């Protein structure tokens, strides 16, 4: 790697990098990129970095700094770190750029990773085969997924654990099903925190290997020539930077921090709470589509939960098990009633029992979703701690979001939030009838969760969404190459991690523990290895 003008960027970036190591608990960012464009595009200057696919990549009249390298890795989160370390071990000439001021990204949220047939599993007497994993996944995804991708993850997962251990990654030593998954595949990181077990050791490895890291550098567009990637543009501390290279790997974390793209995926963003990093802004998705990549948006999946906007937003590490606003709180369903804008019941409310992130899927097409319950239901199932009861009472009395209503009657609830009182009353009456029968003849919810709503005061909350991350967006093949509209590889362009995750279709099957982060490591390593082969060819 070398600069095309004077300076010692490598030394400066490493000093900045070391400064950032101390703060890896904060959510850093992943990034995006751009490079050397066709002559026709060099003549035009796009002033808007959010240019759509039709306008083509952004270009610049003036470049403040240029670098020549073989590979540019865009994003230093979980997958970007794996890609960078593997590329360094392969002796590839490359630069890693990161939009944020430190490495780690959303990986800091993770607690463990997927693997089967690892030495740790063997030592614990755990036996799970690829066929068990793959059939369970494909069945739950209605066989929309490509089983070869799952086979690739399964058969390389043990090797990935070994590789991580060689790099200094630390595991806790136990493997389980992560609180209810289908199989014991979850290899816990040390202290149950990826930040401690994976991110910090991998950052140390990056420094040991002398990897050239450019922090605070956000890729803005790809540079193409004759249909192949020849570089990328970025903006950062050095101004406009041009990276001339033969291959680019996108590892920007997806678009889970970009409300506009979340809305494009079909979600109502009126009461949206972005749990993950806002830096996962869809940079790779935008830049890939600008050069003709095949859009995977309509098939992509997401980690998303209902929330009640009047309640405090979820704190990822503190509120998971809070019975009021946590993952299994009031919004998550269970012994409550869900209705849509027409006051119709539209699904069984215990979908969380099947898959934590399945709860939001049936209501995605509704104009609005509501949860209805009474004081007795709250006291029995949700208000089980002094802290929880106080949180709820404060939310009811101090609601400024106009999403949580209390009334002495069901009709009063409807009037308070502008719903059809007769329709809501009839729906509650039907629900109570089924609850007293002990059989949900309409949707099949278990009898123990069919609790009549009849003891006032009554409550109704309009549901919003907590959006953690998205998986998939840019279409890739098993080699992690980005595909064009004709499903042919775009030469020199790769996407890994959440940017190019093709394991899921529509529904993120969270019940196979650790597979998302297992894919981060696997896709990062595979992209680095495939780029090495591409460069040799």
| pTM of structure | 0.86
Q: Over range 213-217, report the average pLDDT.
A: 98
Banded pLDDT at 21 (limits 50, 70, 90):
very low
User: 218 in helix, strand or coil?
Assistant: strand
Higher pLDDT, 4 or 221: 221
What whole-number distance in Å separates Cα of residue 373 and Cα of residue 355? 22
- The chain-wide mean pLDDT, for the chain, equals 89
- Residues 510-523, mean pLDDT to the nearest whole number: 93
The H-assigned helical ranges of 334-409 are: 375-377, 386-397
Could you tell me the fold of the domain covering 301-467? Flavocytochrome C3; Chain A, domain 1 (3.90.700)
Q: What is the 3-state secondary structure (H, E, C) of 91-129?
A: CCCEEEECCCCCCCHHHHHCCEEECCCCHHHHHCCCCCC
- Asked whether the predicted pLDDT for residue 37 surpasses 60, the reply is no
Q: What is the CATH number of domain 65-255+472-535?
A: 3.50.50.60
> What pLDDT is recorded for position 140?
87
Residue 360 has pLDDT above 50, yes or no: yes
> Residue 118 and residue 133: Cα distance in Å, rounded?
15
DSSP character at residue 449: G
Give pLDDT, residue 56: 86
Q: Is the pLDDT of residue 52 over 70?
A: no
C-alpha to C-alpha distance for 503 and 141, rounded to whole angstroms? 10
Q: Does the pLDDT value for residue 104 go beyond 80?
A: yes
**Rounded-to-integer distance, Cα 472 and Cα 253, Å:** 10
- 103-107, 155-159, 182-186, 331-335, range with the lowest pLDDT: 103-107
Summarised one tens digit per residue, pLDDT across range 140-156 is 888 999 999 999 999 99
Can you tell me whether residue 378 is helix, strand or coil? helix
pLDDT at 30: 28
According to CATH, where is 3.90.700.10 located in the chain? 301-467
Position 5 scores a pLDDT of 32
Cβ(57)–Cβ(34) under 8 Å? yes
With a pLDDT cut of 90, the percent of the chain lying above it is 82
pLDDT of residue 376: 97
Delimiting residues of CATH 3.50.50.60 domain(s) in the chain: 65-255+472-535
| The pLDDT of residue 336 | 98
Nearest-angstrom CA–CA distance, 5 and 133: 52
């Amino acid at each position: 790697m070398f600069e095309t003008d004077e300076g010692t960027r490598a030394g400066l970036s490493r000093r900045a990098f070391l400064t950032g190591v101390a703060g890896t608990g904060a959510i850093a960012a992943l990034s995006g990129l751009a490079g050397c464009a066709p002559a026709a595009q060099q003549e035009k200057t796009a002033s808007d970095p959010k240019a759509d696919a039709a306008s083509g990549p952004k270009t610049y009249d003036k470049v403040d700094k240029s670098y020549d390298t073989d590979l540019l890795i865009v994003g230093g989160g979980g997958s970007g770190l794996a890609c960078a370390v593997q590329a360094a071990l392969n002796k590839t000439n490359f630069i890693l750029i990161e939009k944020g001021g430190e490495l780690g990204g959303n990986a800091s949220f993770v607690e463990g990773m997927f693997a089967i047939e690892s030495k740790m599993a063997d030592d614990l007497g755990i036996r799970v085969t690829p066929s068990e994993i793959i059939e369970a996944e494909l069945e739950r995804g209605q066989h929309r997924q490509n089983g070869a991708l799952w086979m690739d993850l399964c058969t390389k997962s043990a090797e990935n654990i070994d590789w991580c251990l060689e790099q200094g990654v630390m595991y806790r030593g136990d493997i389980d099903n992560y609180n209810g998954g289908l199989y014991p595949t979850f290899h816990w990181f040390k202290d149950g925190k990826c930040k401690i077990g994976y991110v910090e050791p991998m950052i140390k490895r990056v420094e040991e290997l002398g990897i050239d890291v450019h922090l605070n550098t956000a890729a803005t567009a790809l540079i193409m020539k004759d249909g192949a990637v020849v570089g990328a543009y970025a903006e950062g501390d050095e101004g406009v930077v041009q990276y001339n290279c033969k291959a680019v790997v996108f590892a920007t974390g997806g678009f889970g921090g970009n409300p506009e793209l979340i809305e494009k995926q079909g979600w109502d963003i009126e009461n949206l709470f972005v749990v993950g990093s806002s830096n996962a802004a869809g940079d790779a998705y935008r830049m890939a589509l600008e050069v003709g990549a095949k859009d995977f948006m309509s098939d992509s999946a997401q980690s998303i939960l209902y929330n009640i906007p009047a309640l405090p937003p979820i704190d990822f590490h503190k509120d998971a098990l809070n019975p009021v606003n946590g993952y299994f709180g009031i919004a998550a369903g269970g012994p409550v009633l869900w209705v849509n804008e027409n006051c119709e019941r539209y699904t069984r409310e215990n979908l969380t029992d099947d898959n934590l992130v399945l709860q939001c899927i049936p209501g995605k097409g509704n104009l609005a979703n509501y949860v209805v319950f009474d004081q007795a239901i709250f006291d029995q199932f949700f208000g089980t701690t002094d802290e929880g009861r106080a949180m709820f009472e404060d939310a009811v009395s101090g609601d400024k979001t106009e999403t949580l209503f209390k009334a002495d009657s069901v009709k009063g609830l409807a009037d308070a939030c502008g719903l059809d009182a007769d329709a809501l009353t009839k729906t509650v009456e039907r629900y109570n009838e089924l609850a007293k029968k002990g059989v949900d003849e309409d949707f099949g919810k278990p009898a123990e969760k069919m609790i009549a709503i009849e003891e006032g005061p009554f409550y109704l909350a309009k549901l919003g969404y907590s959006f953690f991350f998205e998986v998939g967006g840019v279409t890739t093949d098993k080699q992690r190459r980005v595909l064009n509209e004709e499903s042919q590889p775009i030469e020199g362009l790769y996407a890994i991690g959440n940017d190019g995750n093709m394991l899921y279709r529509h529904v993120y099957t969270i019940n196979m523990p650790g597979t998302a982060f297992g894919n981060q490591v696997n896709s990062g390593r595979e992209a680095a290895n495939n780029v090495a082969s591409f460069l040799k060819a």
